[in-house]
């Protein structure tokens, strides 16, 4: 079994693209809270954002593991895929559950980079992780849906042409299960903005281009419904395993970046006449983080292998997300401590990557939610919430 760096050609090609966008590019965007348009365009032109779209629709038709490698490489190079990674997993809902007409209309345009499907409207201010309790409502009137509600933490909505929107189409009190009565609409943001849909940016500690979306009597064509009405929660869950596996790749990339920076600096930095890396207090945290990262990557690879084989992978995908996020954070902490005061200086990029890396323990699913899932669904313990 080959456990070396897989997909070496993809890693090299993506690294070459990232080399065109060095650290000053990302520091400037971070300071301005700006979107990396040029970087996203370069990835789109190269075809890597269409990695998971089948060849018959203009994509590369690669397995999920290859897509995770793309994101890992971006983060290992010091860049960030947060501006565009959603296109890989949101597209899956359209691919697996969309009609033939929807796939023919949208997938080739997305694959060519002429359309962006970057926005995913699920979370709401009041329901949070309790998705079935969301309040955004869509009512069918003739050949249209009339939508009212609010979404929060809808990243990239200001830079996306399309948005997948999870809405309630049947009141929860009329459903036998809380998860029933939810549907997915594919909203054309180019037409919706200013016509009942308002997008407002949220200022955050990281440059994630996240927003709040306010919806008031928005008219959406009936043909925008993805799949069967009332089955939206299942469709969203179907894509979440892919999301967790892909973001595990990003966390691994961040962890590699931190460890490489910390190791190089600890070997070069001389204090008291010797490299600081000679001190166990410096080298041990780096070594421990490296061990954590190696173990976490094995789980991420297992999860991807199961997904690509069409096998159940919920526990593995969640454990991969848990372990890689914690390993990356350990690597970030070790790197931050190794650089000492210089880690706070923006020119070293440590503080930027450290801030970005912390997000993995909170979103798109928190560490505690994963632990609750494992306890209940894997170990058979009583539901804790």
Q: List the CATH number of the domain containing 19.
A: 1.10.540.10
Q: Which domain-ending residue is among 111, 137, 153?
A: 111
| Domain CATH for 185 | 2.40.110.10
Residue 3 lies in a domain: no
In a domain, 20, yes or no: yes
Predicted local distance difference test score (pLDDT) of residue 5? 85
Residue 150 sits in the same domain as residue 224: yes
Assigned domain for 384 exists: no
Question: Do 26 and 100 sit in the same domain of this protein?
Answer: yes
Of 77, 111, 145, which residue constitutes the final position of a domain? 111
| Residue 276 and residue 220 share a domain | no
How many domains in the chain?
A: 3
Residue 343 lies in a domain: yes
What is the model's pLDDT at position 181?
98
Whether residue 256 is found in the same domain as residue 369: yes
Mean pLDDT per 10-residue section of the chain, whose length is 385 residues: 82 98 98 97 96 96 98 98 91 93 96 95 94 96 98 97 98 95 98 98 96 98 97 91 97 98 98 97 98 98 97 97 98 98 98 98 95 97 93
Do residues 238 and 289 share a domain?
yes
The pTM score is 0.96
Say yes or no: 266 and 337 in one domain. yes
Q: Do 54 and 78 reside in the same domain of the chain? A: yes
Single residue among 111, 141, 159 that ends a domain in this structure: 111
Specify the pLDDT at position 207: 95
* CA-angle at 109, arms to 108 and 111, nearest 5°: 65
> Has residue 383 been placed in a domain?
no
Residue 319 lies in a domain: yes
Q: Are residues 243 and 292 in the same domain?
A: yes
pLDDT at 2: 59
pLDDT number for residue 133: 95
pLDDT score, position 3: 66
Q: Which domain holds residue 44?
A: 8-111
Same domain, 142 and 217: yes
Any domain includes 69:
yes
pLDDT of amino acid 238: 81
């Amino acid at each position: 079994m080959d456990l070396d760096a897989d997909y070496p050609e993809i890693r090299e090609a993506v690294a070459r693209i990232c080399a065109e966008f060095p650290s000053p590019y990302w520091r400037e965007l971070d300071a301005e809270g700006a979107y990396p348009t040029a970087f996203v365009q370069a990835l789109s032109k190269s075809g890597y954002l269409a990695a998971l779209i089948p060849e018959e629709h203009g994509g590369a038709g690669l397995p999920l593991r290859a897509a995770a490698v793309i994101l890992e490489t971006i983060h290992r190079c010091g860049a960030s895929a947060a501006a565009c990674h959603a296109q890989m997993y949101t597209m899956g809902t359209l691919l697996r559950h969309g009609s033939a007409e929807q796939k023919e209309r949208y997938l080739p345009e997305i694959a060519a980079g002429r359309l962006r499907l970057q926005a995913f409207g699920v979370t709401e201010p009041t329901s949070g992780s309790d998705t079935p309790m969301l309040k955004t409502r869509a009512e069918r009137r003739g050949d249209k849906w009339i939508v009212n509600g609010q979404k929060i933490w809808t990243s990239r909505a200001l830079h996306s042409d399309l948005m997948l929107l999870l809405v309630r189409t049947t009141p929860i009190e009329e459903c036998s299960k809380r998860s029933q009565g939810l549907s997915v609409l594919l909203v054309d943001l180019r037409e919706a903005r200013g016509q009942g849909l308002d997008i407002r940016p949220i200022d955050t500690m990281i440059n994630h281009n996240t927003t709040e979306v306010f919806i008031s009597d928005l008219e959406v064509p009936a043909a925008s419904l993805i799949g069967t009405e009332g089955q939206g929660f299942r469709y969203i869950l179907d894509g979440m395993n892919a999301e967790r596996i892909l973001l595990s790749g990003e966390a691994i990339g961040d962890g590699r970046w931190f460890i490489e920076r910390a190791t190089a600096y600890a070997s070069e930095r001389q204090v008291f006449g010797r490299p600081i890396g000679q001190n166990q207090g410096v080298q041990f945290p780096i070594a421990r983080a490296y061990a954590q990262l190696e173990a976490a990557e094995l789980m991420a690879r297992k999860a991807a292998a199961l997904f690509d084989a069409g096998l159940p992978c919920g526990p593995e995908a969640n454990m991969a997300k848990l372990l890689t996020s914690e390993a990356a954070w350990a690597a970030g902490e070790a790197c931050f401590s190794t650089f000492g005061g210089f880690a706070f200086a923006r020119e070293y990029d440590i503080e930027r990557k450290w801030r970005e890396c912390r997000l993995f323990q909170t979103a798109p699913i928190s560490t505690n939610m994963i632990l609750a899932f494992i306890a209940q669904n894997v170990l058979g313990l009583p539901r804790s919430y």
